Amino acid sequence: MPTHERRRIETAGTPRATLTALLTALLLASAIGAGIAPAAALAETPSSSPSAAPSPDPSASPAALPSPTPVAGPTILGDAVTFYGRGYGHGVGMSQYGARGRALAGEDAPTILAHYYQGAILAPIDPATRIRVLVQSKWAATEARPLVVYGRVTPWSIDGVAAAFPADARLRLIPTKTAGTTGTVSSAWRLVVEAADATVLFDGPAPVDFTVRGTTDDSRLQLWSKPTRYDQYRGSLRVLVQSTTRLSVVNDVSLEQYLPGVVPVEMPPTWPAAALQAQAIAARSYAARRLRPNVSYFDVPDNSSSQIYRGILAEKASTNAAITATAGIVLISGTTIANALFHSTGGGATEANENVYTSTSGKRIARPVSYLRGASDRAADGTPFDASAPYATWLTRTYTRAQLSAWFAADPRTNVGDLVAIDLRDRGVSGRLVSVALIGSAGSRTVSGEIFRAVFNARRPTTDPSLKSTLLDTAPIR
């Protein structure tokens, strides 16, 4: 495949010289403040989500993307089959391990982003922009297990209640049932606030929609009922009663207060400053694109269906420094904030969005996005920038054809009877499978590469290695 041209990312409407000076100052200050050595050790593997550094002249990429050896037709399966692969995750947008490798090679955040989001530019967004994060969804409360919230560090308040409550006071939202004179039973919610010494400060009917707020930026709100230790938040908590027993809680917080609970979860905070800054800008862009005021009561969930958000207790000094150094900077394409997708490990190349987000049969249905183009992710000597990743390369156990036949026959989407061959020729620019045709005694079926991967992963023994991506083949991939 021909090489792609990596364009320099620059701030919209900002002269190039001004931008270079600004970013150089910001990035240098961040690197010094973070105190991170270029060879910082890996602490953990980034999330593989679905769930985004400074040289004016990016290094050249090799002319070809890694790909399986071309074959003339479907792969006839032998008695024993092993799958080999590269990468971890969907492969679209920024490879986090690739960003780490590029940072260690001397690239800065703008250069890293320029490679992964081709043609996107940097632009400002108001740092005070707010985001609403769903932190508890349709949670079931009972009289014995009510919703519990604590206000920590500073006094706090409840909208509509004319009182300020002291630090460490506890709010309980209790569903209750009252028997009427005619034998009917009515449901209601009771709101009780108690001081740390159990003195009752408020006890009354609860509104179906109310907000708990800290009184200063130092306030912390602890959602005690959340089943995780990551339960403390900045900003405010909006509580919405949605039925006689179910409720949801939304954390309303500024983007710059949201990101410290995201970036260290999505990328190890021990990584180089340039990679963390690239992640901060990508994460800010990803979140800002999903703001939907007047459409829903929340913008994003706090789980891997969006970006993982763990609030105050996840914050780290190094990632806070990266966020501060890039405050208010997002990626845009035209006049629109970029959908800055990212993933753990590209496996030496990234993929074009339309080759990944397909129909279940592998038909390309997505509109190609100009800044989500697949590209080689290798140094000039051909070494993948993500070569140090745990899943830069991988393989499965070896299975008999009979085992594979049974697994794929168990799912109606891939049932072709006795599996004889698989056609692995429909691939994207990175070598990832767009579709797979299964050929067997009962005919043939074509599914997307992701469906093929999902069915295999669901049926294999749970202790066996999974297919980490759709960049796979029945022989090792260069």
Name the band, by pLDDT with cuts 50, 70 and 90, for residue 478: confident
Q: Supply the pLDDT for residue 412.
A: 97
Helix (H, G, I), strand (E, B) or coil at 219: coil
**Does residue 378 register a pLDDT over 70?**
yes
Question: Are the CB atoms for 284 and 330 separated by under 8 Å?
Answer: yes
The tens digit of pLDDT for each residue in 98-156 reads 999 999 999 999 999 999 999 999 999 999 999 999 999 999 999 999 999 999 999 99
Q: How many CA atoms lie within 13 A of 89 on its CB side?
A: 32
Name the band, by pLDDT with cuts 50, 70 and 90, for residue 160: confident
**Does residue 263 register a pLDDT over 80?**
yes
Name the band, by pLDDT with cuts 50, 70 and 90, for residue 310: very high
Q: Supply the pLDDT for residue 173.
A: 96
pTM for this predicted structure: 0.84
Mean predicted lDDT score pLDDT of the chain: 87
**Does residue 384 register a pLDDT over 60?**
yes
Q: Which residues 6+ apart lie within 8 Å of 429 measured at CB? A: 1, 65, 349, 351, 352, 355, 373, 374, 375
**Does residue 12 register a pLDDT over 60?**
no
Closest CA relative to residue 348, chosen from 374, 315, 323, 319: 374
Looking at the chain, the whole-number percentage of residues with pLDDT higher than 70 is 83
**Does residue 287 register a pLDDT over 50?**
yes
Name the band, by pLDDT with cuts 50, 70 and 90, for residue 468: very high
Q: Tell me the sheet residues that pair with 269.
A: none
The tens digit of pLDDT for each residue in 217-261 reads 899 999 999 999 999 999 999 999 999 889 999 999 999 999 999
Q: Supply the pLDDT for residue 67.
A: 56
Sort residue 210 into left (φ over 0), alpha (ψ -120 to 50) or beta.
Answer: beta
**Does residue 38 register a pLDDT over 70?**
no
**Does residue 62 register a pLDDT over 60?**
no
Sort residue 294 into left (φ over 0), alpha (ψ -120 to 50) or beta.
Answer: left
Determine phi and psi for 226, rounding to 5 degrees: -70, 130
Question: Are the CB atoms for 351 and 470 separated by under 8 Å?
Answer: no
CA–CA distance, 445 with 439 (Å, rounded to integer)? 7
Strand order in the sheet with 156-158: 164-165, 156-158, 209-214, 236-241, 246-254, 130-140, 300-301
Q: Supply the pLDDT for residue 9.
A: 34
Question: Are the CB atoms for 30 and 23 separated by under 8 Å?
Answer: no
CA–CA distance, 124 with 431 (Å, rounded to integer)? 36
Q: Supply the pLDDT for residue 294.
A: 86
The tokens describing 179, both together, are 């028997």
Question: Are the CB atoms for 414 and 455 separated by under 8 Å?
Answer: yes
